[in-house]
């Protein structure tokens, strides 16, 4: 009888641990998806956060299929294209809005085009 009790305790403990680990993984994946969606300049990372949170693995797979490509290569092309023209412009650092890609003075706090806060 005591042995059986221990068995049940073990099973409950294992089930609890499995659920706990699943929740931790889910949270890590959600955070990763949110950061990834932000990095890819996607319009609504919060919606994708909800999709992965509610859809679990399926939501994560859907996100991986439909997510936008990384914007880095596109921005590099734009930067190299604009560099020769900026010689006769006043010498301030040119940055690009992480949200909409607009060309901005590095001294500004907010993007003039979309209102995104510049870090």
Q: Which residues bind Zn ion (CB under 5 A)?
A: 97, 99-100, 102, 111, 113-114, 116
The pair of structure tokens assigned to 19 is 């659920």
In whole angstroms, the minimum distance from the beta carbon of 101 to Zn ion comes to 7
In whole angstroms, the minimum distance from the beta carbon of 60 to Zn ion comes to 28
The beta strands (E) that lie in the chain are given as 94-96, 103-105
> Smaller CB distance to Zn ion: residue 33 or 104?
104
Do 19 and 47 form a contact (C-beta atoms < 8 A)? no
Say how far apart CA 96 and CA 77 lie, in whole Å.
12
> Smaller CB distance to Zn ion: residue 51 or 97?
97
């Amino acid at each position: 009888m005591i042995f059986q009790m221990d068995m049940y305790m073990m099973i409950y403990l294992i089930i609890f641990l499995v659920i706990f680990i699943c929740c931790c993984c889910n949270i890590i994946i959600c955070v990763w998806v949110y950061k990834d969606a932000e990095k890819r300049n996607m319009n609504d990372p919060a919606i994708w956060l909800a999709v992965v949170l509610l859809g679990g693995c399926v939501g994560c797979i859907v996100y991986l299929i439909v997510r936008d490509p990384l914007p880095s290569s596109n921005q590099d092309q734009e930067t190299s294209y604009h560099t020769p023209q900026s010689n006769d412009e006043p010498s301030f650092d040119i940055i690009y809005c992480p949200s909409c890609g607009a060309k901005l003075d590095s001294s500004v706090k907010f993007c003039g085009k979309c209102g995104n806060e510049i870090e």
